[in-house]
């Protein structure tokens, strides 16, 4: 049975666009139809909830479009809601990622904190006018005196975005927990690959020799034996094995609020402040100037490498003082061009991974159906 599961898993992993494009697209389309059918059936059996949701939506739409004195509050709530939803959504994507490892901190939150840090030191203030911030940062008309910017002032400026992103990452850790908990309570055979690997790891815990297996066992033992503070410790540091903590908590029926509370505190408060402080210190004015000077000191290629960095920093300074629209338009710096293309490549890979993941999910349905038919014969 274990050998057959292994072969089925290998067969599913070969269903990707660059190996079997037609089959992958076919299975992807069929999986979408299956999901739509399942959700339609669930909504049909919960008609009261659907009707209540539609009535609430109608009230919100009417409130949004009807003119009146309430519109100023509606606009303020809309702006804050979109800001929170944007960063929470990016946090969820960073945790879930559908197997892609799409780390939105490196692509979005980290660069945002870095840009605020550079702007704070250039403007000697964090009182950026709003709007247009956070879409575009422009120095206020009355800039502060040099040396008035502190680490705490920058931390306070990006606290909302960072905490919302951290909350999103905590929410994204819930699916492994609920999956493992449901499998343990129902006693059914788990159909999730990560959960199957977790059970195999428990079976061979005493004979594990390689570093990866021992690291996973260490996380599992810490969470199981220490409880709340073990989960908090795992969530408070960059930990690629945290999915295992969610599966462990679900498997051993750790209470929901113990797991989610520790995860939320660890990711949205402790870990988030560690990451913020690291980025702010790295992009503080004197550190950046030292890094650019160090690049220029590299023998041979130093000056040529240093030039685009200096041009990029100068362009950012002009943008902050709203000078980029004056005079001749500035050419695009190759550093910003490379970053934009990196984001595009990561998003494209994310979309491809969604297609592959859903196609493999449909293949798994087919394999389970065939296995059940063989058992009934």
The span from the CA of 109 to the CA of 163, in Å, is 11
Q: Out of 4-13, 264-273, 288-297, 351-360, which region has the weakest mean confidence (pLDDT)? A: 288-297
Q: Identify the CA nearest to 1 among candidates 248, 196, 204, 180.
A: 196
The predicted-structure confidence for 67-93, as pLDDT tens digits, reads as follows 888 888 888 888 888 889 999 988 888
- Confidence label for 329 from pLDDT (cuts 50, 70 and 90): very low
pTM for the structure as a whole:
0.75
Burial status of residue 158 (CB atoms within 10 A of its CB: 0-12, 13-18, 19 or more)? buried
Residues 225 and 234: beta-carbon distance below 8 Å: no
């Amino acid at each position: 049975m274990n050998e057959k599961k292994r072969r089925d898993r290998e067969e599913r992993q070969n269903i990707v666009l660059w190996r079997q494009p037609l089959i992958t697209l076919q299975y992807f389309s069929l999986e979408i139809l299956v999901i739509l059918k399942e959700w339609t059936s669930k909504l049909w059996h919960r008609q009261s909830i659907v009707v209540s949701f539609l009535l609430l939506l109608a009230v919100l739409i009417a409130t949004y479009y009807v003119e009146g004195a309430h519109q100023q509050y509606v606009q303020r709530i809309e702006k804050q809601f979109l800001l929170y939803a944007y960063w929470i959504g990016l946090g969820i994507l960073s945790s879930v990622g559908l197997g892609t490892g799409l780390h939105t901190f490196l692509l979005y939150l980290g660069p945002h904190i870095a840009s605020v840090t550079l702007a704070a030191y250039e403007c000697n203030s964090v009182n950026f006018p709003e709007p247009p911030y956070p879409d575009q940062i422009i120095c206020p008309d009355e800039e502060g005196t040099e040396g008035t910017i502190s680490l705490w002032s920058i931390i306070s400026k990006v606290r909302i975005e960072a905490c919302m992103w951290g909350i999103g990452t905590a929410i994204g850790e819930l699916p492994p927990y609920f999956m493992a908990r449901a499998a343990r309570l129902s006693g059914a055979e788990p159909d999730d690959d990560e959960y199957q690997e977790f059970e195999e790891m428990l079976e061979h815990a005493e004979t594990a020799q390689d570093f990866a297996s021992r690291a996973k066992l260490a996380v599992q033992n810490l969470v199981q034996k220490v409880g709340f503070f073990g989960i908090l410790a795992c969530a408070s540091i960059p930990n690629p094995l945290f999915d295992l903590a969610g599966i462990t908590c679900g498997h051993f029926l750790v209470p929901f609020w113990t797991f989610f509370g520790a995860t939320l505190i660890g990711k949205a408060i402790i870990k988030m402040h560690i990451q913020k402080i690291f980025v702010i210190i790295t992009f503080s004015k004197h550190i950046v100037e030292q890094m650019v000077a160090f690049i220029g000191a590299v023998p041979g290629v130093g000056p040529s490498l240093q030039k685009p960095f200096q041009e990029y920093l100068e362009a950012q300074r002009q943008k902050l003082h709203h000078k980029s629209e004056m005079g001749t338009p500035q050419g695009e710096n190759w550093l910003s061009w490379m970053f934009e293309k990196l984001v595009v490549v990561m998003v494209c890979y994310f979309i491809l991974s969604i297609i592959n993941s859903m196609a493999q999910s449909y293949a798994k349905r087919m394999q389970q159906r065939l296995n059940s038919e063989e058992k009934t014969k």
